[in-house]
Every structure is written in C-alpha cells, then in structure tokens.
C-alpha cells in the first residue's frame, strides 16, 4: 500500500479563512492531489482489485445500502478503487442505481444504470449510462450516495478530482442521507484543505476499516 505521508505540512494552515487566499487553497489542494495520485499510481493491479472487493463487501453489508431504494454511485476510472463490481451488485440486488453524467460545465447529470451493456463511452475516458438523463437534481432522490475522493479528513472534508462536480452534487443531497466517499487505506488524513464551496461527506469507506462515520 502507499505510504501514509499524505498530510499537509504542519506549518501550513489547511482551512480557508485561516490564512489562505483562494489561490493558496487551490495550490495546496493541487499539491496534495499530486501526491495522492502518485501514491495511487504505485499500487499494483492486485492491490487495487483487492481494495475494490473489500469496499464492495463493506457497502453491500451496510444496512443503509440494503434498505436503499435509490443509490447514487459512480464508475471508477484510472487508479481509483474499482467500483464496477459494486455498481453491478447493487443493481443486481434490485436497487435503482443512478450514475453521473459529466456535463460540459462540470456539473453532474444523472441516469440509471441498467446493466453492463447499458454503458457508453463519455468524455474524458468516462463510461456513462445510456439511459435518459434525469437532471442534476436527481441525486436529491437517492437514499444513499457513494462518491469518489482522493482523500477525506476526520471532519469529512473531501478532496476530489478538482472539477467541483461533487461539491455541486452533494449540495443537493438531504441532510439525513448517508454520503460515503470510497478511499484506499492511507487516504483518511488529519486535515484536507477545504473552502466554503467544499461539501463534506458523512462517511468514509476503506478496504481495511470498512464504512465509518466522520465529522
């Protein structure tokens, strides 16, 4: 697994409004993304696959996932913990699974997953559901929301890919809905740089620790 030296420098403030301009915040996020991506790229295929299987088992065991009628999830790309098996299993179990469709403005539209044959190539190497788009507000109807992240801190602050897509999407999720970010084991940090537009997640999933609440 990747080493755990992903935290910000202890001499640097990591929360906006405590000494950082928006530019400084963006710079700190960018630096941290680079380190996290590099660590992910050092994982072997076998380590990634094992992480995906462990995360799938943890989510499927979760009572909130078993009770959920509608689940918003995502298909992993690149070195992210694999989620293809999880998405398939949630759908096979009878859940209504919504997947994101990236819009040109980086906001997220949503469409239902209807099996592996229902996916088509989208922009930036993403696979997207071919079904009718339900609009950016469709995520509001999800009983459980599963999102990607490069890191999350103990307050639930989330570092994503840098498009702000999930900051917009998570702002539309009700306050009682579990929102879970899937990480590798070294990606729960003491502090993640966050600004006013950053939306927190309420739970984290890690291969070695399962699903647990943060914040």
Summarize as ranges the residues that interact with Mg ion (CB under 5 A): 167, 198
Nearer to ligand ATP, 95 or 100 (CB): 100
Does the protein bind ligand ATP through residue 165 (CB under 6 A)?
Answer: yes
Does the protein bind ligand ATP through residue 37 (CB under 6 A)?
Answer: no
Residue among 114, 26, 113, 106 at smallest CA distance from 74: 113
In whole angstroms, how close is the CB of 139 to ligand ATP at the nearest point? 13
Rg (CA), the chain: 16
Binding residues for ligand ATP restricted to 175-204, rule: CB under 6 A: 197-198
Element (H, E) at 109: strand 108-112
Three-class SS of 115-165? CHHHEEECHHHCEEECCCECCHHHHHHCCEEEEECCEEECCCCEECCCCCH
Does the protein bind ligand ATP through residue 166 (CB under 6 A)?
Answer: yes
8 A C-beta contact, residue 181 and residue 201: yes
Nearer to ligand ATP, 37 or 197 (CB): 197
Distances (CA, A) of 127 to 45, 60, 89, 120, 169: 20, 22, 17, 6, 18
Q: Which residue is listed with tokens 């999830």?
A: 73
In the list 6, 28, 29, 202, the residue contacting ligand ATP (rule: CB under 6 A) is 29
Output the six-digit token pair for 97: 């699974």
161 binds, among Mg ion, ligand ATP, none (CB under 5 to 8 A by kind): ligand ATP
Residue nearest to Mg ion (CB): 198
Does the protein bind ligand ATP through residue 7 (CB under 6 A)?
Answer: no
Total chain residues near ligand ATP (CB under 6 A): 13
Residue nearest to ligand ATP (CB): 160
Nearer to Mg ion, 109 or 167 (CB): 167
Nearer to Mg ion, 84 or 164 (CB): 164
* Residues at the site binding ligand ATP, with contacts judged by CB under 6 A: 29, 159-168, 197-198
């Amino acid at each position: 697994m990747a080493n755990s030296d992903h935290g910000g420098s202890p001499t640097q403030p990591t929360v906006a409004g405590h000494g950082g301009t928006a530019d400084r915040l963006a710079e700190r996020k960018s630096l941290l993304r680079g380190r996290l991506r590099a660590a992910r790229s050092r994982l072997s295929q076998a380590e990634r696959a094992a992480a995906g299987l462990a995360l799938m088992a943890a989510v499927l065991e979760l009572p909130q996932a078993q009770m959920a009628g509608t689940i918003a999830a995502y298909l992993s790309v690149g070195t992210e913990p694999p989620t293809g098996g999880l998405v398939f299993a949630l759908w096979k179990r009878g859940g209504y699974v919504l997947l994101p469709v990236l819009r040109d403005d980086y906001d997220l539209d949503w469409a239902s997953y209807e099996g592996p044959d229902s996916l088509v190539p989208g922009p930036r190497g993403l696979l997207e559901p071919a079904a009718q788009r339900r609009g950016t507000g469709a995520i509001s109807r999800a009983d459980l929301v599963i999102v990607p992240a490069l890191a999350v801190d103990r307050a639930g602050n989330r570092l994503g890919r840098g498009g702000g897509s999930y900051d917009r999407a998570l702002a539309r999720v009700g306050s009682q809905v579990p929102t879970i970010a899937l990480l590798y084991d070294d990606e729960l940090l003491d502090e993640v740089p966050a600004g006013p537009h950053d939306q927190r997640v309420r739970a984290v999933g890690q291969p070695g620790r399962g699903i647990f609440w943060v914040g």
